[in-house]
Structure 1
Amino acid sequence: MKLKHNINPFLLHIINFVILVYSFLTYVPWYVLSGSRQAIAKSKQIKAKPVYHKPSSAYRSVNSLHCLASVLYPGCDTLDKAFKYARTKFENKKLLGTREILKEEDEIQPSGKVFKKVILGKYNWLTYDEVYTKAANFGSGLAVLGQQPKTNIAIFCETRAEWMISAQACFMNNYQLVTLYATLGGPAIVHGLNETEVSTIITSKELMQTKLKDIVSQIPLLRHIITVDGKPTTWSEFPKGIIVHTMASVQAMGAKAENVNKQRVRPVPSDIAVIMYTSGSTGLPKGVMISHCNLIAGITGMAERIPHLGEKDTYIGYLPLAHVLELSAELFCLSHGCCIGYSSPQTLGDQIKEGNKNTSIYIPIFLYYMGEDNTMEIMDRIYKNVMNKVNEMSSFQRSLFILAYNYKMEQISKGYTTPLCDSLIFRKVRLLLGGKTRVLLCGGAPLSAATQRFMNICFCCPVGQGYGLTESAGAGTITEVWDYTTGRVGAPLVCCEIKLLNWEEGGYYNTDKPYPRGEILIGGQNVTMGYYKNKERTQTDFAVDENGQRWLYTGDIGEFQADGCLKIIDRKKDLVKLQAGEYVSLGKVEAALKNLPLIDNICAYASSFQSFVVAFVLPNQKEITELARKKGIKGTWEEICNSAEMEKEVQKVLADVASSANLEKFETPLKIHLSPEPWTPETGLVTDAFKLKRKELTAYYLEVINRMYGTDKN
């Protein structure tokens, strides 16, 4: 979507003439020297094909039509072998970097949320050899504490170097690592720890004192708590029988000559590496059993899709390592000799004081996003922040930026690059992420086309999307770096194949023209073993075919386009049939509207007994307050949100955006409710990964729903 400018027509003609002359003079040398000719040719190639010529056939990457890939390096079929290989190859190279935190400050946002501003010091790096030694010692120390091979051990900790060291220790010794989000609530933590019967948990001082101390009495088998960052200040509150250790002391035990390699049993590919608890939108979290070969296959698929990754690249580790995408990405980078510098979401945008940005210090070259934040994807948040700053520019500056933006968007759509615009216009925006970012990838949540194109343009690098689930070890599809289309998630990775299953209720068939459509099924060695102690759900979501191939039923609806790339178009659970018979995909409605600056989050709702859609909206306080000022609507924040006039004004804006996004009239929310209260895991309205909990949101806003539909009993 092009941006609108208000530049003087005469000046516009002059600028366009200069651009025309510049393009004419530079086109030939640029085309010959830039490599774009080859990139354009690659972008037009077929990327995946059906294995057989029939509608129900699975699609495979053209690079794996005859055999799916499963091993990154010969003989490295388990995670401990992959790390040992990397340690030998990159022994003295930097691996894990932790930056000193000198000071923290709370910054209250207009919405009332509090972000941490941090004053940061220098980076302290550990080499591959140092990380390997620390992990080996820690694993041996755990054996001294009584940890046995193939038994469960939990990690409940923020993303940091010690998390990865702990994980590698478990992989080396064939301990089954149970992962829990640091943001999980008490009942979910208790459920995960008790279901897996862990006796040892690895955590941080902060999480031990803020969360674990309130629930340890509910975990009867717990015997050891290991803090990764030193001794806590208080010890007396823990029940008798629980011993608190530091990571350093356990490593010291393991480093003693008599304990080195104590009881070490190497894993085989089929052994469980991780039991990963997903933050489900309904009920208690489920533990997905992920084997060594599942993760090895997944990162093998990722490696083929990200070219030239190596020792010069730096990865920003800031997403939860308890999420399969972050864990897979870091294992993938570790296996290629990359540096991993640990960061946080607050240091990636404008939430940190100038001069202290993590990204400006270690200059990332490769960056992987999951695309989820507390109210929306981080990319979407950066997009809105930058566009707000553009709107604050002078008329001439804003018009010049918009002209450059529109010009580059046109060039990108043709597969061309714009080095002059990149260096003169977009340099400052690019510096938000360090200035040398080479690749941006998004997965875990859909990235809007407008935001994806914005990132392409302003950060001057490929911005792709991927698709995968915890149940597929994070692997499924990734767009190729020379694919500048939007709204697609790429072709199947070389480790797996994907087929589409007819879904009659939704009207999706793999015989549809021009593109086959249906429920996405993923098959391959990356498909996991199922759910821990949940045989019934495992049998529902997984199946094995006559050839022994394991398949995952994702519940997502996709379509394969002409070049073999997949597009996610719907989700079975989000489909509602209206009174007049039309089907509405709530996820589709939300995806079309969530990028509006007025909105921080949105939940669409539809009743089968009604003929229209309604929505609960978490408004952006700054934007809504400004709109209220323009419309003469006064009052407190709650009064503004509860104003019927304000609801109508926002609904008008939503309707305009819905129309431009090609939503049908019956899909466009006819009535909305503006929520003054934030949606957080603590409120129970979103998961710990900040995904919508539809059932809880519906119950919470039941009276509002009745009011909007005119069905309230009063």
Structure 2
Amino acid sequence: MKLKEDLSPVLLLVFHLAVWIYSFLSFLPSVFLGWMSTLDDDDGVRYGSEEDRAKRMKACSEPGRPEGPYRAVRATKRLEATLRPGVQTLDKMFELAARRFPHRHCLGTREVISEADERQGNGKLFKKVILGEYRWLSYQDVFSAASQLGSGLASLGQRQKNNIAIFCETRAEWIVAAQACFMHNFPVVTLYSTLGGPAIAHGLNETQVTHIFTSKELLETRLKAILIEVPRLQHIIVVDDSPSSWPGYPPGISVHNMAAVQELGARPENASRDRNPPLASDIAVIMYTSGSTGIPKGVMISHGNIIAGLTGMAERIPNLNEEDTYIGYLPLAHVLELSAELVGMAHGCRIGYSSPQTLSDQSTKIKKGSKGDTSVLQPTLMAAVPEIMDRIYKNVMLKVEEMSCVQRTLFILAYNYKLEQLSRGNSTPLCDKLVFRKVRSLLGGRIRVLLSGGAPLSAVTQRFMNVCFCCPVGQGYGLTETCGAGTISELWDYSTGRVGGPLVCCEMKLKDWVEGGYRSTDKPNPRGEILVGGPNVTMGYYKNGSKNEDFFVDESGQRWFCTGDIGEFHKDGCLKIIDRKKDLVKLQAGEYVSLGKVEAMLKNCPLVDNICAYANSDETYVIGFVVPNQKQLLALVDQYGIRGSCEDLYSSEAVEELVLKTLTEAALEAQLERFEIPRKICLSPEPWTPEMGLVTDAFKLKRKELKTHYQDDIERMYGGK
């Protein structure tokens, strides 16, 4: 999507002339450098324009039928399930990595130099930090630490095939603990650090956990309050260095420092114990979902499942090697982050840890004038959920609006020039260096691949990342139930709105959903519910037989999962997600509304930071809860002369009407049907965060919790019904 700006004809003429001169002078070097650039596929073949690349087959229906199954063109003979010959379990995978890259950096953590409370303009106190350089553990260091930790856990009574939990923020110790468990065949139960007390207790009790890893903060703020509800729990291992003793805990519960458990495992009598390594069919992880549709479900994932998923992902990231640096900040309890880190470790990458609050120089916890994690680490690989990329896009565009007329015009012309060159299959190395270098530096300046998952990424944001961050965005589709593996777009394919073809580890087919009006016989493209089959499809839900109806095994013995998502396959084998069964609501007059589709369209509006569409089947129209962009909202009300405090503005009917008018215009431009457009809205003064319990750690909407939170507003917007 091109950027627009109203400029005088003379000014436009001057800048167009400058761009023409630039294009003429940079033509030869751009052709030379572009020929060597990353718009090639990993066979080194160039495919020219977007139109040419879209014709290249990514997948095809193996039997030739519109419903599939569809396979990647490189996996038409068989589905691939191993990264390395004979390596079928996670302990073997990391053991091989430690042998190949013993002295290379593996896991890095930034040193905290100082912390201080800083008072904001609204009177609130925010903790700000100054961080130093990264301190690194080598692959050999991590392997030794994990081996000792596993032996220490065994000395504390942890037995193989007995579940052990990790309830901790994303950090190096999380991965060390997980590797220790993989080595000793202790199935890892993962719990989001933002889960509430009842959900934590449910997961621990259901899996009968006796040992748990956690941090000092989570122990004191979350876990301690529910210990009485988890009678089986005996040992708590705290990953922080201090304190060394933990008084005041109930009888029968021992609290240990992780370092002390490692020391216990290093004792000769414990280190020499024989361990029985896991089989590919053994459970590696019981991953609890974030609970977006109710009580979290534990997905049983075997070693073989994860290895297969990693195999598919690795094939779509070209030239993945030990020179790469990955920045880890998404929840490791989420399959996207865990898979990304494991596939990086299998190839000798180094992983530096961060958090959403310290990611960039402008992040909320970084003291003004000091550097965020991306500036110091300068990663080459990064995974992000669309919510984070949407924020980056909107923040940069706000900065563009604040530029002088000349600067803004230069940026817009450079943006549109590069967009045109990308569509032709050309790179713009000089333009990247002169215009987009500053924007690219927001993420360290060296990102070569961005992986997007967790939710659909808007075309506007994807184009922006392609242009301004000078790297391809691999948009993917997968679920916890498929180890996060399903599809990832080829990095030379710059088309938007699609998620690529199936990975080499799985295949997909479409199942008719008559109630929603989707059939594999639809023209021009077959449509239906997406079914994923292959060795990456997991073992089912833990102690939840009623939910396992979504899994089935076909006549050839292959396992399948019914995703509940609606997709369509394009002629080149790329998948597009177009709907979700659970998001579909039938209005009183009989129209079907896809709430997810409405939200995806309206989130492109600069005024919207987040939105939840809601519809009641007894009503004739859609309503919405909106988190507006504060800066855009204040500019809008100022334009109409509306005054008042922030609290007054967010509760003002006049302001709601103004925002609704802007949303309606955006909806019509996005070609939503009239019945799909929210007729009434409620403004939220606070952004929805995982800590509030209204979104998951991957920033997916928790519709049930949002409905409860806004129940009074729902009744008001529906006239008290």
Q: TM-score, normalised by structure 1?
A: 0.95
CA distance in 2, matches of 1:113, 1:406: 41
Q: Aligned to 1:254, which of 265, 271, 275? A: 265
Verify the 8 A CA contact 1:97 1:341 in the aligned structure 2.
yes
Q: Deviations over 1:554-604 (max 9, x none)?
A: 111111111111111100011112233221100000011123232222111
SS where residue 271 of structure 2 aligns?
Answer: coil
Q: Which residue of 184, 198, 222 corresponds with 2:195?
A: 184
For 1:40, the equivalent position in structure 2 comes to 47
What is the aligned partner in structure 2 of residue 30 from structure 1?
A: 30
Partner of 1:311 in structure 2? 322
Partner of 2:382: 367
Deviations 1:161-184 (A, max 9, x none): 111011000000000001111111
Question: Which blocks of at least 5 consecutive residues in structure 1 are unaligned?
Answer: 372-376
Unaligned runs of 5+ in 2: none
Check if 1:698 corresponds to 2:703.
no
Secondary structure, in 3 states, of the residue corresponding to 1:276? strand
Contact 1:111-1:620 within 8 A present in 2 as well: no
What SS does the corresponding residue of 1:504 show, helix, strand or coil? coil
Partner of residue 63, structure 1: 74
The separation in 2 between residues aligned to 1:421 and 1:428, in whole angstroms, is 12
Q: What's the secondary structure of 1:500's corresponding residue?
A: strand
Encode CA deviations 1:618-646: one digit per residue, 9 max, x unaligned. 22333323322222222232321121111
Q: 1:611 aligns with which of 594, 601, 620?
A: 620
Which residue pairs with 1:667 in the alignment? 676
Within 5 Å, which residues of 2 pair with 1:129-168?
129-168=140-179
- Are 1:387 and 2:394 counterparts? no
Deviation at 1:677, TM superposition (A): 4.7
One-letter amino acid matched to 1:611: T
Q: Deviations over 1:266-292 (max 9, x none)?
A: 000000000011112232111000000
Residue 599 to residue 185, structure 1, CA distance change in 2 (3 Å): same
1:456-535 alignment to 2 at 5 Å? 456-535=466-545
| Superposition map of 1:261-300 within 5 A | 261-300=272-311
Alignment of 1:531-546 (within 5 A): 531-538=541-548, 540-546=549-555
Deviation at 1:385, TM superposition (A): 1.1
Helix, strand or coil at the partner of 2:83: coil
Change (3 A) 1:406 1:364: same
What is the 5 A alignment of 1:653-664?
Answer: 653-664=662-673
The answer to whether 1:198 aligns with 2:209 is yes
AA matched with 2:472: P
Cα deviation for residue 224 of structure 1 reads 0.5
Q: How many residues were matched structurally?
A: 706
The alignment partner of 2:523 has SS state of coil
1:80 maps to 91
RMSD (Å), alpha carbons: 2.0
Equivalent residue in structure 1 for 2:253, among 242, 263, 278: 242
CA separation of 1:688/1:313 partners in 2, compared to 1, >3 Å: closer, same or farther?
closer
In the TM superposition, residue 616 of structure 1 has moved relative to its aligned partner by 1.2
Task: Determine the C-alpha separation between the residues in 2 that align with 1:51 and 1:648.
Answer: 52
- Would the aligned equivalents of 1:7 and 1:396 in 2 still touch at CA under 8 Å? no
Contact 1:111 1:621 in 2 (8 A): no
Query: 2:347 matched to which residue of 1?
Result: 336
- Aligned counterparts of 1:286 and 1:458: Cα–Cα separation in 2: 39
Is the 8 Å Cα contact of residues 213 and 237 (structure 1) preserved in structure 2?
no
Q: Quick check: 1:217 aligned with 2:228? A: yes
Shift in alpha-carbon separation, 1:424–1:30, aligned structure 2, 3 A: closer
Offset of 1:491 from its aligned partner?
0.7
Matches of 2:596 and 2:678 in 1, distance apart?
13
TM-score w.r.t. the length of structure 2 is 0.94
- 1:455-511 Cα deviation digits (max 9, x unpaired): 111111111211100000010010111111111111100000011111001111111
* Match for residue 591 of structure 1 among 595, 600, 603: 600
Residue 28 of structure 1: how far off its partner (Å)? 5.1
Q: 1:4 Cα shift?
A: 1.6
Structure 2 contact 67–526 (Cα < 8 Å) conserved: no
Question: Within 1, Cα distance between the matches of 2:603 and 2:154?
Answer: 49
Matches within 5 A, 1:411-426: 411-426=421-436
Q: Secondary structure at the match of 2:327?
A: strand
Native 8 Å contact 1:413 1:485 kept in 2? no
Match of 1:410 in 2: 420
Residue 17 in structure 1 maps to residue 17 in structure 2: yes
Equivalent residue runs for 1:647-658 within 5 Å: 647-658=656-667
Change (3 A) 1:600 1:110: farther
* Aligned residue identity for 2:6: N
Alpha-carbon distance in structure 1 between the residues aligned to 2:33 and 2:424: 17
Alignment pair present for 1:582 and 2:597: no
Partner deviation per Cα, 1:307-339 (whole Å, 9 max, x = no partner): 101111100011111111111000000000100
Question: What secondary structure, in the 3-state scheme, does the structure 2 residue paired with 1:258 have?
Answer: helix
Greater Cα offset, 104-113 or 118-127:
104-113
- Alpha carbons of 1:454 and 1:304: their partners in 2 closer, same or farther (altered >3 Å)? same
What corresponds to 1:374 in structure 2?
none
Q: Which amino acid aligns with 1:362?
A: L
Query: Is the counterpart of residue 54 in structure 1 residue 65 in structure 2?
Result: yes
Cα 1:233–1:250 shift into 2, 3 Å: closer
Q: Distance in 1 between matches of 2:522 and 2:710?
A: 38
Q: Which moved more, 1:12-21 or 1:591-600?
A: 12-21
Tell me if structure 2 keeps the 8 A contact 1:105–1:118.
yes
Post-superposition offset of 1:24: 4.3
Structure 1 residue identity aligned to 2:695: V
Query: CA contact under 8 A between 1:578 and 1:612: conserved in structure 2?
Result: yes
